[in-house]
Amino acid sequence: MSDSRPPLLAFWSFYPAPTRAALEEHFEVVDFAQIEDRDAFFTEHGARFRALATSVVAPTGEDIFSRLPNLEMVASFGVGLEHLDLAAASARGLQVSYTPDVLTDDVADLALLMMESHARGLVSGDRFLRSGAWAKGPMPLGMRLSGRRIGILGLGRIGLAIARRAQARGMRVSYSGPREKPAHPWPFVADLEALASSSDYLVVACSVTGDNEHIVSREVLRSLGSEGVLVNIARGALVDEEALVELLQAGALGGALLDVFTHEPQVPAALLGMDNVILTPHIGSATAETRAAMGELMVQNLLAFFAGEPLPSPVP
């Protein structure tokens, strides 16, 4: 049987099984990670590819685009865009798609789950029990989540989903970001240090835009204070991680609930020994349902491109 499937260069090796199956059904998938001599590969086969699939953990820019002379379409798995050189893509007239919306609920759920686990000592309680400490007496009391103040940095899709959940959970919501969103009822606090100093939990929910690296600075973390807790379900780059570790060590910051880190999958060793942190390996969107939905949307974008139809979720 001759293979009529168009070739697709895949830059990520961890697409979920249903996505992988759909890709294989429609495309002749070439795994970039399997290629040893990439230079030779590009020289020999680069011109075959009109499309590539990537994900937020695979930097995709001009070094790749320039080796694929017939490239027209880049389909990314995930909502974050900072791994893509969009300027280079646009200069080459490439169409680019991503997978927003379908992961919003899961990421927001994780943020709430982390705060609830922190407040009620779910993770520390598990450690306490397993260590045998219970036999010597009860664990320290937790605290009630309702009534706590949550400051959300970034009231975009995910920030809004967190705000709604937090409100339903009885928390007091305020937010910061580039501009006020008057359609929503919560107080806007333009200054991030002011938001931090009036929050029990400061939740980072914005995207990386190129000029907001370390927006959660040492000063912001100081403002959050010795009772305050940082929650990051967005990107490690948004937080000054060195300052975070130092302030936690000094007791100047109350805690940190982190799903993302500066140099994933590396995590600062000092965090591993701390009891007032909860660490998860970038699992905001990592449910079978959501990852399948993200994959389906990515495949739909690729199929639309090859059919000459408008992309369902183009990067704006």
- Among the residue ranges 161-169, 174-182, 217-225, 280-288, the one whose residues contact ligand 8YV (CB under 6 A): 280-288
**Residue 209 beta carbon to ligand 8YV: minimum distance, rounded to whole angstroms:** 13
∠ at Cα 235 (58, 279), nearest 5°?
Answer: 105
Residue nearest to ligand 8YV according to CB distances in the complex? 78
Give the C-alpha separation, 182 to 246, whole Å: 37
**Residue 196 or 294 having the CB closest to ligand 8YV:** 294
Give the C-alpha separation, 130 to 290, whole Å: 32
29, 30, 35, 57: which one binds ligand 8YV (CB under 6 A): 57
Nearest alpha carbon to residue 173 among 197, 149, 208, 203: 149
Active-site residue identified among 116, 219, 264, 289 = 264
Binding of ligand 8YV by 56 (CB under 6 A): yes
Give the C-alpha separation, 59 to 82, whole Å: 8
- Among the residue ranges 72-80, 138-146, 155-163, 193-201, the one whose residues contact ligand 8YV (CB under 6 A): 72-80
45 an active-site residue? Answer: no
Give the C-alpha separation, 51 to 294, whole Å: 18
**Residue 254 or 295 having the CB closest to ligand 8YV:** 295
Binding of ligand 8YV by 19 (CB under 6 A): no
10, 65, 74, 80: which one binds ligand 8YV (CB under 6 A): 80
Binding of ligand 8YV by 292 (CB under 6 A): no
**Residue 61 or 125 having the CB closest to ligand 8YV:** 61
Sign for the CA dihedral angle at 67, 297, 107, 186 comes to positive
**Residue 222 or 282 having the CB closest to ligand 8YV:** 282
- Among the residue ranges 74-82, 89-97, 124-132, 188-196, the one whose residues contact ligand 8YV (CB under 6 A): 74-82
Local structure of 118: helix, strand or coil: helix
Local structure of 149: helix, strand or coil: strand
Binding of ligand 8YV by 295 (CB under 6 A): no
Binding of ligand 8YV by 285 (CB under 6 A): yes
Interface of this chain with ligand 8YV, residues 161 to 200, rule: CB under 6 A = none
- Are residues 172 and 150 in contact, defined by beta-carbon separation less than 8 angstroms? yes
Binding of ligand 8YV by 54 (CB under 6 A): no
Residue 61 to residues 11, 12, 49, 66, 234: CA-CA distances in angstroms? 12, 14, 15, 9, 22
16, 46, 78, 254: which one binds ligand 8YV (CB under 6 A): 78
Q: Please give the structure tokens belonging to residue 5.
A: 């499937």
Active-site residue identified among 148, 165, 235, 291 = 235
Q: Which segments of 129-276 are extended strands (E)?
A: 149-153, 172-176, 201-204, 229-232, 255-258
Give the C-alpha separation, 112 to 168, whole Å: 11
- Are residues 238 and 206 in contact, defined by beta-carbon separation less than 8 angstroms? yes
53, 68, 103, 231: which one binds ligand 8YV (CB under 6 A): 103
Binding of ligand 8YV by 16 (CB under 6 A): no
**Site for ligand 8YV, rule CB under 6 A:** 55-57, 77-80, 103, 282, 284-285
| Catalytically annotated residues | 235, 264, 282
